[in-house]
Structure 1
Amino acid sequence: MSDSQAISQAVAKLYNTFPFPPDPLSDEAPPGYNWRWNWQTAYNFCTGRKPAREAVRILDAGCGTGSGTDYLIHLNPQAEVVAIDLSEKALEVAQERCRRSGVLEGREKPVQFLQMPLEEAVALPGEFDLINCVGVLHHLPNPVKGLQAIASKLAPGGLLHIFVYAELGRREIRLMQEAIALLQGDRRGDYTDGVKVGRHLFSALPQDNPIVKQDRERWSLENHRDEAFADMYVHPQEIDYNIETLFDLIETSGLTFLGFSNPQFWQLERLIGADAELMARSEHLGERDRYRLVELLDPSVAHYEFFLARPPLEISDWSDDEALRRAIPERSPCLEGWPSRNIFDFNYQIVSLSEAEFAFLEACAPERGASVGELLEATGLDLEGARSLQQRQLILLAC
């Protein structure tokens, strides 16, 4: 057996023992939304405009127990969805989750669940418009091979959404992982025993121990379930990245980096913007070095979440006033609390709308074909107000 095969078997054993994530099953559709798993809002985030079609193909590459799959099916009713995972037990939970939630009922497009290593995704028929790969690549024996496998299945103009671990914000986790492994000795690979050892360690260590403090302040709410504790502290395979190694990985995919899905974190201004001289010194830095400087100055980052694309992909910034006036607007499907002057936006941040903004959003009805310009005249909102709604992703614009 090769080392890669042994690692894959160890990872499968972990998730067959502790299927992850341990989110409870429900007899109702998943609550709220995650804009990254909605084709329309993800496409809008990446391109600045609404996609031309909703009947797309989506791959959930490493679906685990199906928490993300449930949303992908629910938020994309016109899409064909394929979910794959290495773990037989996790896949069983994923299918049961989606059956019980009701998201499979009445769908015209098929949903498939397949037990398959990520590296074998090349064998899947056809191409996909959206590929979701959350929390998987860093657990593979060869992340490059896994990334290249799913990248090969991305259609032209398609989006690949990825989540991988970052080393700086996981320092204490890695220390605890190694400590548990040392105490397990030849019982390493017995994941139930590993959880037991880890629980004992956290109970025995002083409360002011930095590993205990970090866990209490950042991770304890996640880790009260053994499945989550095992995934974090007893995993047999983990590769953590920094900005340099992350972009080295991305370059192997042959895809285009579109940006992080939390761009506010990566703004250098929030860290040193008060010092004009430091900001001036940073002006010579390229994008990659600016990202590296941010994570060095704020080492709390525990993961990277970002989008890649296969060209061609047209980007619209709506800087042209006439193009903006001609565009057809509609409300984002990821708004909570509508209709109200106080709503939650796509990132679940509270937004207080002006009277004119509310009137504009209320008037958005793409089936009527009213343009931005026509709605501006009807509601009293000015052009910059409409541009602000688009930039805040409260509306989607179609050319």
Structure 2
Amino acid sequence: MDNSTPTQTVSDAVARLYNTYPFPPEPILDEAPPGYNWRWYWPTVHSFCTGAAPTKGAVRVLDAGCGTGVSTEYIGHLNSEAEVLGIDLSEQAIATATERCRRSGATNARFRQLSIYDVDQIEGEFDWINCVGVIHHMADPLKGLQALATKLAPGGFIHLFVYAAIGRWEISLMQRAIALVQGSQRGDYRDGVQVGRQIFASLPEGNRLKQRERDRWAMENQRDECFADMYVHPQEIDYTLDSLFELIDASGLEFVGFSNPQVWQLDRLLASDPALLDRARQLPEQDQYRLIELLDPEITHFEWFLARPPYSRFSWEDEALLLSAIPTRNPCMEGWPSQSIFDHNYQIVSLDQTEFEFLQACDGQRPALEGQPPNHSTSAQASVAELLSRCNANLETVRQMQQRQLILLESPAVR
């Protein structure tokens, strides 16, 4: 561990915050949590990163900076064959996480109070690491990311989330204002919450900081735990696109892509001028991202996947390969069976009759994952070609449904 005085001071301060206000403050349930997050479901993570469904389900997962175990619990329930370990600095958060998973029956999840800097104390490597909203609270985010990289198995993936500087401009100003008023009492987090709420209440109605809080954050910040996490945190590093890719380049891992790719599409902002959109698309990929960052100050965070090479990438442009693939319906959807569903991002999607018929044909199929008992003989799983013979869909429909994450495709080459 980097036990230098500044680093240890920051770690101790962060632990005190989350011992005072365990985060996130979601209620503990006596059943599996409702809904889904596709970034917490191994088959959809693997499919997003490689293009194909995985061949094994019995993976090792590390939830690094798990807090009160909300994400760990979901990962445990959504991936019943996985071995899940959650680590966090906060003793109180770990206690809450342990109780959360005990109550809901996530028996494949266990917890350990441990700093990310100290992950070398954990035996073995992980197929998949979840580290969301954490490294930007470390004194040395790069050192933390590099430590995690050493625990990622070859071909493994890590999902990360850090704050974006432009979209959090008003938050940054309020953080500094609260700290200034607190003075020598900074570090008393309950006092910080009280001071912050007093400032917001006192500001004129037209004040930009007050408006931003009311319009964007006030609902979640009714809870002191959320208000403290946002406004009185003792350590926060916000990123720009440039500093983000500096971090990625220094990590020793490979950038796979943003896990909210719809945000990073230029046509979302420039579609009304096709000529300008075409010109912007001539820019290098990172410059396209920079342009989106500058044009959309509502982007408050970056979320993305990194991989430890080597790992397979599947393209379904090859007709023969696609025809022989085994398709399954993405279980991360609500409202099925219906032509109007919520997709993996909880966005309403209207399926045309052809798409609906193909999804119906896929229903009941699932990848042949090692470590999971098959619900059918794996030889009974129908290929794309076989399913197309039963409905009116075509290969382009299948490709588009895979790109929209409505279906997962298993490559016969790795079956």
Q: Tell me the TM-score normalised to structure 1 length.
A: 0.96
Partner of residue 135 from structure 2, selected from 115, 137, 140: 137
Name the structure 2 match of 1:153: 151
Give 1:25 deviation, angstroms. Answer: 1.2
Corresponding residue number in structure 2 for 1:25 = 28
- What SS does the aligned partner of 2:264 have? coil
1:220 to 197, 218, 221: 218
How far does residue 277 in structure 1 lie from its aligned partner after superposition?
A: 4.3
Letter in 2 for 1:336: E
Q: Deviations over 1:33-72 (max 9, x none)?
A: 0000001011111111101111100000000001101101
Cα deviation for residue 283 of structure 1 reads: 4.3
Alignment partner of 1:171: what SS?
A: helix
Q: Which residue of 2 aligns with 1:394?
A: 406
Partner of 1:55: 58
Deviation at 1:284, TM superposition (A): 4.4
TM-aligned CA deviation for residue 111 of structure 1: 2.8
My pick for the range that moved more, 221-230 or 356-365, is 356-365
In the TM superposition, what is the alpha-carbon distance from 1:280 to its structure 2 partner?
Answer: 4.5
In structure 2, give the amino acid aligned to 1:12: A
Whole-angstrom distance in 1 between the partners of 2:308 and 2:43: 17
Q: Aligned to 1:339, what secondary structure does the other structure show?
A: coil
The within-5 A match list for 1:157-236 is: 157-236=155-234
Please state whether the residue corresponding to 2:33 is helix, strand or coil: coil
1:107 maps to none
Whole-angstrom CA distance in 2 between matches of 1:129 and 1:247: 23
2:352 equivalent to 1:377:
no
Which SS does the other structure have where 1:12 is aligned? helix
| CA drift at 1:180 | 0.5
Q: What SS is found at the alignment partner of 1:335?
A: coil
Amino acid at match of 1:78: E
What is the CA-CA distance between 1:279 and the residue it aligns to?
A: 3.2
Amino acid at match of 2:213: D
Q: CA deviation at 1:150?
A: 0.5
Alignment partner of 1:307 is 2:310: no
How big is the shift at 1:7? 0.8
Counterpart of 1:338? 336
The alignment's C-alpha RMSD in Å is: 1.3
Asked whether the equivalents of residues 69 and 101 of structure 2 are also in contact (C-alpha less than 8 Å), the reply is yes
Structure 1 partner of 2:73: 70
Quick one: which amino acid aligns to residue 25 of structure 2?
P
- The residue that corresponds to 2:371 in the other structure is none
1:319 aligns with 2:317: yes
What is the number of residues matched between the two proteins? 394
Query: What is the Cα deviation at residue 357 of structure 1?
Result: 2.2
1:102 maps to 105
**Partner Cα separation in structure 2 for residue 203 and residue 299 of structure 1:** 25
Could you tell me which runs of 5 or more consecutive residues in structure 1 were left unpaired when the two chains were aligned: 105-109
Encode CA deviations 1:305-360: one digit per residue, 9 max, x unaligned: 00000111111221111111110111112121222222211111122223332222
**Structure 1: how far apart are the matches of 2:120 and 2:147?**
5
- Contact map agreement 1:41 1:333 (CA 8 A) in 2: no
More displaced, 386-395 or 251-260? 386-395
**Residue identity matched to 1:92:** A
- SS of match in other structure, 2:261: coil
Residues 249-286 of structure 1, C-alpha deviations (whole Å, 9 max, x = no match):
11111111011111111112222233344334434422
CA deviation after TM superposition for structure 1 residue 297, in Å: 0.8
Question: Please, which of 92, 102, 105 is the counterpart of residue 89 of structure 1?
Answer: 92
Please name the residue that 1:354 is paired with: 352
Tell me how far apart the structure 1 counterparts of residues 352 and 277 of structure 2 sit (CA, whole Å): 34
Q: CA deviation at 1:300?
A: 1.2
State the Cα distance separating 1:103 from its structure 2 match: 2.2
Task: Select between 279-288 and 183-192 the one with higher mean Cα deviation.
Answer: 279-288
Task: Report runs of 4+ in structure 1 exceeding 6 Å deviation.
Answer: none
Displacement of 1:73 in angstroms is 0.3
Paired residue secondary structure (1:113) = strand
TM-score, scaled to structure 2: 0.92
Q: Distance in 2 between matches of 1:148 and 1:370?
A: 42
Contact 1:43 1:50 (8 Å CA) reproduced: yes
Equivalent AA in structure 2 for residue 272 of structure 1: L
**Native 8 Å contact 1:87 1:115 kept in 2:** yes
Q: 2:251 aligns with which of 244, 250, 253?
A: 253
Secondary structure, counterpart of 2:80 in structure 1:
coil
CA contact under 8 A between 2:73 and 2:109: conserved in structure 1? no
| Aligned mates of 1:81, 1:280 — CA distance in 2 | 45
Cα distance in structure 2, aligned partners of 1:135 and 1:86:
14
Residue of structure 2 aligned with 1:128, choices 108, 118, 126: 126
Question: 5+ residue gaps in structure 2?
Answer: 367-375
SS at structure 2 position matched to 1:223:
helix
More off after superposition, 339-348 vs 8-17: 339-348
Per the alignment, in what secondary structure is the counterpart of residue 54 of structure 1? coil
Q: 1:274 aligns to what? A: 272
Q: Following the alignment from structure 1 to structure 2, what is the Cα–Cα distance between the partners of residues 315 and 137?
A: 28
The aligned amino acid for 1:2 is T
Tell me if structure 2 keeps the 8 A contact 1:19–1:65.
yes
